[in-house]
Structure 1
Amino acid sequence: MIFKVFYQENALQVPVRENTKTVYVEAESEKDVRIKLAKFNYNIELVQPLSGAHLEYEKQSEAFKVSEIV
């Protein structure tokens, strides 16, 4: 399954909406996504599963690129 993750790059700073970034991750579950991203020390705001029409819509975006995180 593909997940869209909204995050701040530094977990120690106060979140600012304008600094929110996104990354697309393929994983089995939200827990798996959080485990994969733990090594980056991100402040994860939201992990959103994508499927069906929502996934197709996201694929049309220029920013859509599924990250290969092991």
Structure 2
Amino acid sequence: MIYKVYYQESKDEIAVRENTKTMYIEANSEREVRLSLKNRQINIEFVQLLEGSYLEYEKNHKNFELSETR
């Protein structure tokens, strides 16, 4: 499954839409995504499962770069 993670680059940063970054991660569950990112110093706002036509739309986005959990 592919998840889109919305985050701020610093744990201390307040969530502001204009500063929100995204990354795409392949994992078996949202929990696996969050566990794989827990050592990074980022503020995770939201983790969204991508599927169907929304996933296809995101794949066509120029910034789509898929990462796997480690």
Structure 2 portions without partners, runs of 5+: none
Matched, 1:18 2:18: yes
TM-score (norm 2): 0.92
Match of 2:47 in 1: 47
Identical-residue share of aligned pairs (%):
53
Alignment TM-score, normalising by the size of structure 1: 0.92
- Which letter maps to 2:60? Q
- Paired residues in the alignment total 70
Per-residue deviation at 1:18? 1.4
Unaligned runs of 5+ in 1: none
Q: 3-state SS of the aligned residue for 1:39?
A: coil
Partner SS, residue 14 of structure 1: coil
For 2:17 and 2:52, the matched residues in 1 are separated by: 27
Greater per-residue helix proportion: 1
CA distance in 1, matches of 2:33, 2:69: 9
What is the root-mean-square deviation in Å for CA atoms of aligned residues?
A: 1.0
Alignment partners' CA distance in 1, 2:64 and 2:25: 10
